[in-house]
Amino acid sequence: MVHPPDDLNPEDLLLRDLLENRHDRYNRADFIAEDPISLPHRFTQREDIEIAGFWAATLAWGRRSSILSSGRRLLALMDDAPADFTHRATGRDLDRLQGFVHRTFNGTDAVFFVQGLQRLYRHEGGLMGFFARHCPPQAPDTGEALAALHAWFFAQPEALPRSRRHLSDPSRGSAAKRLSMFLRWMVRRDSRGVDFGLWSAPRPCQLVCPLDVHTAGISRQLGLLRRKTNDWKAARELTDRLRQFDATDPVRFDFALFGLGVYERGQF
């Protein structure tokens, strides 16, 4: 059962106050420059933002400096016009991506994802339209929509088995941290200037907290997460716990957990 804030026990009240304090500290535009979200923040048009955001999230593993460097390099190969490139790219345009490498993600993967995005925007209403259709208001969270996105991409004629590792599927147990982070960027809206809030669906209450090693570690330290494995069940468990503190926008506490885990290293 989810309790309203005034029904919280004293221990949870202290925990809520800590999360609120760190949310205020870390949900600030000052932190954009060193975060992958800085890549879509270079743009002003919705499709540019969401496509650049998708790429930033796709590349978001490893050192953040490396993520940003790779993201800038990939966007430069797209003439720093990700929406236009996605809509018009043909064989010669795609060939220029072949030399791209970020860790195990290479040019072949990049071409596959561009082609998938082309079909998504031509036939499915783009990323926004796809998630609006596959995450209706009655859905408990974004899990089925993320699984549907994975199934859609890998039902395409040019689907590459090697690329599966780069698009998470909660139905196979993945925590889907990067895609959940991407959805947070697109869906959450407030006055802080970090998340974009461009989409009306999914709703903020349907988002699932991005779960990585830092967020999971601090969540267990705080008693917010019991499950030992960092998988989709754990991400849901954490999000359900955060809903006790804010049922309408639980994932805003991702800022607090990430800050506590990365900047404070659990020392608070």
Supply the pLDDT for residue 158.
75
Are residues 207 and 251 in contact, defined by beta-carbon separation less than 8 angstroms? yes
pLDDT band at 5 (very low <50, low <70, confident <90, very high): low
Supply the pLDDT for residue 175.
97
Are residues 106 and 121 in contact, defined by beta-carbon separation less than 8 angstroms? no
183 located within any domain: no
**Per-residue pLDDT tens over the stretch 247-265:** 999 999 999 999 999 999 8
Q: Cα 206 from chain centroid?
A: 13
Supply the pLDDT for residue 6.
63
Q: Cα 148 from chain centroid?
A: 16
More confident residue, 182 or 3: 182
Q: Output the six-digit token pair for 107.
A: 């040019």
- Both 93 and 27 in one domain: the answer is no
Query: What is the reported pTM?
Result: 0.95
| Collapsed DSSP state (helix, strand, coil) of residue 178 | helix
Q: How many domains does the chain have?
A: 2
Enclosing domain of residue 222: 1-31+209-268
CA 157 to CA 43: how far, in whole Å? 31
Largest CA distance in the chain: 63
- Both 25 and 84 in one domain: the answer is no
**Per-residue pLDDT tens over the stretch 18-47:** 999 999 999 999 999 999 999 999 999 999
Over the chain, what is the mean pLDDT?
95
- Both 92 and 18 in one domain: the answer is no
β partners of residue 98: none
Supply the pLDDT for residue 1.
41
Q: What one-character DSSP code corresponds to residue 172?
A: G
Q: Output the six-digit token pair for 146.
A: 């993320």
For the segment 92-118, the average pLDDT, to the nearest whole number, is 96
